[in-house]
A and B are shown apart, each in its own frame.
Chain A
């Protein structure tokens, strides 16, 4: 090569150039296909979050769903009873700090607390070995739909109609008619009332996961945190009070920590593991894994939960995802929501600025 050989030009130069061009185009097209550019109908995490955003409105800096909430802090004290089902050191015993968030579903951070009869509780357990467990639970027994596509369709069907800017009841009705799996959820929500307090609610994982024990055996579970605080009953907020939940929480914490029991519900053979619309019978064996103790609360504008993405696939060893497709879809969509709000937080070019004083 140091003394270049003079070769005759190859035969069919045009054909050779065409071949090179073809190879480059094919590789680029394959990449475009994998990246979803050739299939605009593909349900991507971005489209999912766009639908949520259309529904909840544009609120820079806030989560795209469960936008209104409050940070809480405390610890988890393991009972040791779950250690034979999961190899995670989290359950062996002792205390693990938690950073939590109590919230309302929906994308509007200014929604009235009474606007929705569901509250949610997210927790991040920070294990001593650097592992984390993140879970987002809801105070409801089942999820309305079983697939990401159905969740997207539900969000669009119950969101504002592009034509009028208002939700269209006919579209919602048509969705529920064509999705019989929503029956259990609809039956429950008909009688559900907005709770007056975060602290006397039971929050459920709804999605099923697997515990993996020290012998490598896996056990399908769902979990819930069950309050020690007795039901408040009536005595709801004064009429017109739209932000009573935070005030109630602060008042109660001033009197002392509030506690929930983390209960693991073990599936019986044949229980649906991959379908969050189907509840398991009430008589399933439950194991009290320990107590979640919450002793502090902070506004989310500057609290430690603000920059936490409660991605349900972040699990320590000893807990694994199941085949429930909602779990992975939540992870994918949360990542988009997290990038959008951290980008707004960090004033990245092209992002809307958060209203600093209101968060």
Chain B
């Protein structure tokens, strides 16, 4: 295949792996802050280590993305759609890096131990302070909403490419041959 019409296999693996992790993360977050039962605690115990894993993978992925060219969008795509596509992709990169940092910083500001699992803590990354805690906690909530809505738009757009336009954009990530 001479044309660059699919993402690099490494990028595809990272994409699908992280999509599952991030979606899980958003559901875990929404569930844990609205429950008082035992699941509140086990969801919380998933949330922190999973968040840090996403953070590390996101950095690797960003590095890979900056050093490997992504397949171009179809030339006949309207300009606003291209803009929306690029904008939402960089938004997703920003959120997958920022959200774990805000969570970590928020626990630091609240002077909570950042426990990934029993007996293992990350060091605080911000000084303790109630106002800082509250700002970061609220930011974590609203950015999670933004994250979920951006994800929905991303998924809807991918399906639109695959089912309506059938222009190979979805296949560039699924890796299926593009006849």
Contact = CB atoms under 8 A, between A and B. Distances in A.
- Asked if chains A and B come from one complex, the reply is yes
Interface of A: 1-5, 7, 10, 13, 16-17, 19-20, 23-24, 27-28, 30-31, 34-36, 42-46, 48, 129-132, 148, 306-309, 311, 313-317, 320-321, 323, 325, 328-329, 331-333, 335, 338-339, 341-343, 345-348
Contacts of A43: 36
Given A31-B27, A45-B40, A307-B128, 17 more contacts: A1-B74, A3-B75, A4-B75, A20-B156, A31-B148, A36-B35, A130-B113, A131-B121, A308-B111, A309-B112, A314-B112, A315-B118, A328-B38, A328-B40, A331-B40, A339-B137, A342-B130
A178 B166 CA distance: 63
Contacts of B123: 130
A250 B19 CA distance: 57
Contact of A331 (B41, B129, B134, B178): B41
Q: Interface range on chain B: under 10, 10 to 19, 20 to 34, or 35 or more?
A: 35 or more
A27 B160 CA distance: 16
A355 to B, nearest CB: 16
A345 B40 contact: no
A131 to B, nearest CB: 6
A328 B41 contact: yes
Nearest to B168: A1
B110 interface: yes
B72 A35 contact: no
Interface in B123-179: 123, 128-135, 137-138, 148, 152, 155-156, 159-160, 163-164, 166-169, 172, 178
A328 B30 contact: no
Contact of A16 (B27, B130, B164): B164
A308 B34 CA distance: 22
29 contacts: A1-B73, A1-B167, A2-B3, A2-B5, A19-B163, A20-B159, A20-B160, A20-B163, A23-B155, A24-B156, A27-B155, A35-B34, A131-B115, A148-B36, A307-B110, A307-B111, A311-B112, A316-B119, A325-B38, A328-B37, A328-B40, A328-B41, A329-B37, A339-B134, A339-B137, A342-B110, A343-B134, A346-B131, A348-B138
Contacts of A345: 130-131, 134
A291 B9 CA distance: 60
Contacts of B138: 339, 343, 348
Interface string B86-125: 0000000000000000000000001111010011010100
A342 B27 CA distance: 26
B79 interface: no
A21 to B, nearest CB: 8
Given A23-B159, A35-B31, A346-B135, A10 B166 contact: yes
B26 interface: yes
B76 A4 contact: yes
A306 B68 CA distance: 50
A24 B135 contact: no
